Amino acid sequence: MSLAAFFCLFALRAQGGSPEDCAPCHRKETARFADAGMTRALQPGGGNRRLQTRLGLYSYEVNGSDYTVSDGTGILKFPLAWTFGQGSTGQTWLYQRDNRWYESRASYYGTLGALDLTIGQQSITPHSLAEAAGRLIPVSEARQCFSCHSTGPLAGIQCERCHGASEAHLSDPAKLPRKLARLTTEEQSDFCGECHRTWAEISLKGPRGIQNVRFQPYRLAGSKCYDATDARIRCTACHDPHAPLETNEANYDARCLACHAQRSTNACPIAKKLCVSCHMPKLDLPGAHKSFTDHRIRIVKANESYPD
Ligand code: HEC
Ligand code: HEC
Ligand code: HEC
Ligand code: HEC
Ligand code: HEC
Ligand code: HEC
Ligand code: HEC
Residue 38, ligand 5, Cβ within 6 A: no
Q: Is the pLDDT of residue 4 over 60?
A: no
pLDDT tens digits along 64-91: 999 999 999 999 999 999 999 999 999 9
Average pLDDT of the chain is: 93
How remote is the C-alpha of 63 from its chain's centroid?
Answer: 24
d(CA 237, CA 235): 5
Q: Region 220-232: what's the mean pLDDT?
A: 97
Q: What is the CB-side half-sphere exposure of residue 25 using CA atoms within 13 A?
A: 10
Atom of ligand 2 nearest to the CA of 161: 1
d(CA 235, CA 188): 7
User: What pLDDT was estimated at residue 8?
Assistant: 38
d(CA 204, CA 240): 29
d(CA 187, CA 119): 30
Q: How confident is the model at residue 94 (pLDDT cuts 50, 70, 90)?
A: very high
Radius of gyration of the chain (CA): 21
Ligand 7: centre distance to CA 254 (Å): 14
Q: Region 27-39: what's the mean pLDDT?
A: 95
Residue 62, ligand 5, Cβ within 6 A: no
Ligand 7: centre distance to CA 88 (Å): 30
Q: Region 179-190: what's the mean pLDDT?
A: 97
CB 255 within 8 A of CB 237: yes
Ligand 7 neighbours (beta carbon < 6 A): 253, 256-257, 260, 267-275, 277-279, 299
List the residue whose alpha carbon is closest to atom 19 of ligand 3: 85
Peptide bond before residue 44 is cis, with ω within 30 degrees of 0: no
Q: Region 192-197: what's the mean pLDDT?
A: 98
Atom of ligand 2 nearest to the CA of 37: 26
Choice between 36 and 11, residue whose per-residue pLDDT is larger: 36
List the residue whose alpha carbon is closest to atom 43 of ligand 4: 162
Q: Is the pLDDT of residue 238 over 80?
A: yes
Nearest CA-CA partner of 54 in 143, 129, 115, 125 = 115
d(CA 97, CA 272): 57
Ligand 3: centre distance to CA 170 (Å): 30
CB 97 within 8 A of CB 78: yes
d(CA 290, CA 286): 8
Q: Region 228-250: what's the mean pLDDT?
A: 97
Q: What is the CB-side half-sphere exposure of residue 232 using CA atoms within 13 A?
A: 12
List the residue whose alpha carbon is closest to atom 25 of ligand 2: 37
